[in-house]
Amino acid sequence: MKIKIMMVLLLLALLGGVVQAADFPNLPPGTGVELDVVAFGDLQPLPWPLWYLQEQFTGIPDGFDIADGNVYDGWCADPDTGIALSHEYDVVNFYNSYDAPDSLFPASIAGPVNYIINNKANYPGVTLSEIQATIWYFTNGIDLTSGSYKGLNWDPVLANQIKNDAVANGDTFVPSSGDVILIIVEANKQVSPYDPTQLTMIELTVPDFQGHTPGFWKNHPEAWNGYAPSDLVTDVFSVPAGLYGSGKKDMKSSDTLIQALAYEGGSGDAGGARILLRAATAGLLNAADPDMNYRYSETYIITAVNQALTGDRDSMIALAADLDAWNNAGFP
């Protein structure tokens, strides 16, 4: 299933950008982290690997999705600056490529460039040169028909095929579980050479997230962890009084979590709230399950839902759709 990065970014915009999803990618701060380029792909024996460089980071605390000491395949996002092999660089920041500052990596190219990386092995005869050149087309606007730039040589026909494929199919691309998402690495030199330091990107694999639907949790109360079917919705979420009603389908302050799993939708803010709380209750139970790798934490779900409930129907429906997608991820 598609990882809902772009939907989450839209949701955060609708919610005023306050709530942050800290589950994936959970990126470390750059402060205190050192970068070392340990290999360049074109210095490896033929056939070349499908990466431009490999980077290793030290000084990263535990608990982040980029691990201290691991080596990551990577790519150059700026051919007009350099980076050297076996030199230490200070990391300034790590960015999700879908949420980087436009001055570094515009959001408009995130889809096509991530699409290229996730399909790089599907182009017959491709080498790292065609992949890297096509990335430079999007990041720097280089002329792919030239076949050469800054010492890199490529097949112009193949590079243009890759570019055309990315233009046609990559604009709305977001990685799936098990695919790769690009992480932007902004760094400064510690010692010569090269100042400023090249902007690079590393490949990070999207975890295989899991989830059960509201229907599953409604029919399997014995599987609940951390919450009881009889717990009130208001014991968990802050529901504004204006969203309650007296009708048969309306929410009541006495509703329980298992009742929330059976909420029906409807029009207006009250209907949007019921849709959201149905998805959110399932998401909460998924997050609380110790055997499940759910996309979001309990804290994120509760905070995001409480904030959306104070907004409009569009905000509620956007969050409900995102949670519902992850609730349908399945579980072995």
> According to the model, what pLDDT value does residue 45 have?
85
Is residue 191 over pLDDT 90?
no
DSSP string, 26-51: -PPPSTT-EEEEEEEGGGSPSSPPS-
Band the pLDDT of 47: cuts 50, 70, 90: confident
pTM: 0.69
- Distance set, CA 310 to CA 16, 245, 273, 274, 321 (Å): 12, 16, 10, 13, 17
> According to the model, what pLDDT value does residue 86 have?
85
Average pLDDT (11-33) is: 62
> According to the model, what pLDDT value does residue 195 have?
65
> According to the model, what pLDDT value does residue 174 have?
84
Band the pLDDT of 192: cuts 50, 70, 90: low
Band the pLDDT of 193: cuts 50, 70, 90: low
Q: pLDDT tens-digit profile of 201-217?
A: 999 998 888 999 999 99
Q: Mean pLDDT, the chain, as a whole number?
A: 90
Out of 84-93, 116-125, 263-272, least confident range: 84-93
Q: pLDDT tens-digit profile of 124-158?
A: 999 999 999 999 999 999 999 999 999 999 999 99
CB 245 within 8 Å of CB 285: no
> According to the model, what pLDDT value does residue 176 have?
74
Is residue 17 over pLDDT 60?
no
Average pLDDT (241-252) is: 92
Q: Report how far residue 28's alpha carbon sits from residue 15's, in angstroms, rounded to the nearest whole number.
A: 24
Average pLDDT (173-182) is: 88
Sequence spans of domains, the chain: 25-205, 214-327
Angle at 288 between CA 286 and CA 294, to 5 degrees: 45
Is residue 194 over pLDDT 70?
no
H-helix or E-strand spanning residue 266: none
Nearest Cα to Cα of residue 77 among 202, 215, 255, 259: 202
> According to the model, what pLDDT value does residue 199 have?
95
Is residue 3 over pLDDT 70?
no
Average pLDDT (271-276) is: 97
Band the pLDDT of 175: cuts 50, 70, 90: confident
Q: Which residues pair with 35 in a beta bridge?
A: 57, 89
- Distance set, CA 323 to CA 24, 81, 199, 310, 317 (Å): 14, 41, 34, 18, 10
Is residue 295 over pLDDT 90?
no
